[in-house]
Chain A
Amino acid sequence: MINRLPGYILSFFVLVLLQVLVFNNIQFSGYVNPYVYILFIFILPFETPGYLLLFIAFLLGLTIDLFSNTPGMHTFATVFIAFVRPSLLRAISPRDDYQPGSSPTIHDYGFVWYLKYTVVLILVHHTLLFFIEVYDFIYFFSTMWRIVASSLFTLIFVFIAQLFVFKKDKSR
């Protein structure tokens, strides 16, 4: 656990910088924006205590807010998925429960499990984020479209990250 700490700190910084410098500048068709930084909440180990999960989410959201001029919005959405994560993990746990020492990856628990895990969290996060950003229900349908499209792109990048970064981690 302790020897994996530097890796997590590094991926925190890498994900934040990737988000603010690269992904915030990718705009598919004008207003679709992937928010890949929440991948950090996905990769935290199963044993992470609840309060730590919430604090990390708060810090992560606040850092992203700091860079994108959106005080509180990312923080709110990210803390919320951190709150949902333990119950979600319990709800979709495999028959023989999570093995100690394993991590929430495709490699350990398979494609379908990972898809369920990420889709729910991404949808919850993006729905909250976009509705807080708009702060209004006037643009309901355009906001729904943004949520679906952005979630799809986030999901694609989250899966790409699984295929590349974490395989290397495993072989170490």
Chain B
Amino acid sequence: MRNFFHFIIRNHFILLFLLLEIVSFYMVVNYNSYQRASWISSSNSVSGGVYRSFSDATQYLQLKQINEELAKENTYLRSQLPSSFKDSKDYFSLVYDSLNKRQYTYRTAKVINNSVNKHFNYITLNKGSNNGIVKEMGVISAKGVVGIVKDVSDHYSSVITILNTRLLISGKLKESGFFGALGWDGNDYRYVWLNEIPIHAHVVVGDLVVTSGFSSIFPEGILIGSVEVVERDKGESFYRIKVKLSVDFKDLSYVEVMSNKMKEEQLNLENSND
């Protein structure tokens, strides 16, 4: 026993080193495989608080630009009001029907932390479960798809963005309707890749890429980006399409978190097929 203690005391430096490295490696691995350890993400209250006060201080610098964006969105929304359509009884009628109930609800949230330069990028929002946000809600901005809520605490939530090599989003070509998986390759934060589009599909540079609506997180037709380059490797029967994102991730300030009221219903139905 004494020898054992002597051994520990003599080699305490190496033993402590190994212990600490095992603890941190455990955190890395645990996080990667199960995405637990959520207490140590930036949605926890300490780091969330620091980020919030910092972004409160710096947001004044962006006010002008945010105003412009809001004004643009206002005009867009106004153009969609019933009053901006010609109201003719012939083809337009409102019937109250419980099936026409609103399926998606939106909540605005402010981005208080953001990164684009890692392989796994996340953003932090200033709203959490107290504001009704739960895991796996979709996040969009005025310009297009941003990501999916990964963790929530009481007042903050962290969002896994398209710029994260772990996230794949189902997208489709707006013109032709062919769908595939969208994912990031970890290089340029302005581009993602759309795979699994068969080579008999007609793809033109500039075609819009939108969400497919298959995932129950995003509704169909939300803009993701536009086709920039179409590649085809020899012997492959699928295109590799480089998509320019419509959202500028370096410049995110306000986003909308959307909840799908019928998600449970859809998932239950789909699971009952197995």
Chain A residues near B (Cβ < 8 Å): 17, 20-21, 24, 27, 30-33, 50-51, 54-55, 57-58, 61-62, 65-73, 75-76, 79-80, 82-83, 86, 132-135, 139, 142
14 A–B contacts from the bound complex (CB under 8 Å)? A17-B50, A30-B117, A33-B117, A50-B16, A55-B20, A58-B20, A62-B24, A67-B47, A68-B115, A72-B27, A72-B28, A83-B13, A133-B120, A134-B119
A70 to B50, CA, bound (A): 17
B17 touches A54 (CB 8 A): yes
A79 to B133, CA, bound (A): 36
Measured between beta carbons, the chain B residues less than 8 angstroms from A133 are 118-120
Partner of A54, one of B20, B42, B50, B113: B20
Label chain B's interface by main secondary structure: helix
Asked whether B54 is an interface residue with its Cβ less than 8 Å from the other chain, the reply is: yes
Smallest CB gap from A80: residue in B: B21
Measured between beta carbons, the chain B residues less than 8 angstroms from A66 are 40, 42, 44, 46-47
Smallest CB gap from A26: residue in B: B117
Smallest CB gap from B25: residue in A: A76
A31 to B249, CA, bound (A): 13
Given known A-B contacts A31-B187, A51-B12, A54-B13, A67 and B42 have beta carbons under 8 A apart: yes
A61-B24, A75-B20, A76-B28 known; 7 new pairs, CB 8 Å cut-off, are A30-B187, A51-B16, A54-B20, A66-B46, A69-B42, A71-B31, A134-B119
Measured between beta carbons, the chain B residues less than 8 angstroms from A24 are 115
| Cβ-Cβ contact count across A and B, 8 Å cutoff | 106
A71 touches B20 (CB 8 A): no
Asked whether B266 is an interface residue with its Cβ less than 8 Å from the other chain, the reply is: no
A20 touches B50 (CB 8 A): yes
B42 touches A73 (CB 8 A): no
Measured between beta carbons, the chain B residues less than 8 angstroms from A67 are 42, 47, 50-51, 113
Asked whether B186 is an interface residue with its Cβ less than 8 Å from the other chain, the reply is: yes
- Shortest A126–chain B CB gap in Å is 14
Asked whether B218 is an interface residue with its Cβ less than 8 Å from the other chain, the reply is: no
Measured between beta carbons, the chain A residues less than 8 angstroms from B20 are 54-55, 57-58, 75, 79
- Shortest B18–chain A CB gap in Å is 9
- Shortest B35–chain A CB gap in Å is 10
Count chain B CB atoms within 10 A of each CB in A58, A70, A133, A139 and give the residue with the most.
A70
- Shortest A124–chain B CB gap in Å is 13
- Shortest B120–chain A CB gap in Å is 7
A69 to B31, CA, bound (A): 10
Partner of B27, one of A75, A80, A142: A75
Measured between beta carbons, the chain B residues less than 8 angstroms from A58 are 20, 23-24
A75 to B25, CA, bound (A): 9
Partner of B122, one of A21, A57, A69, A132: A69
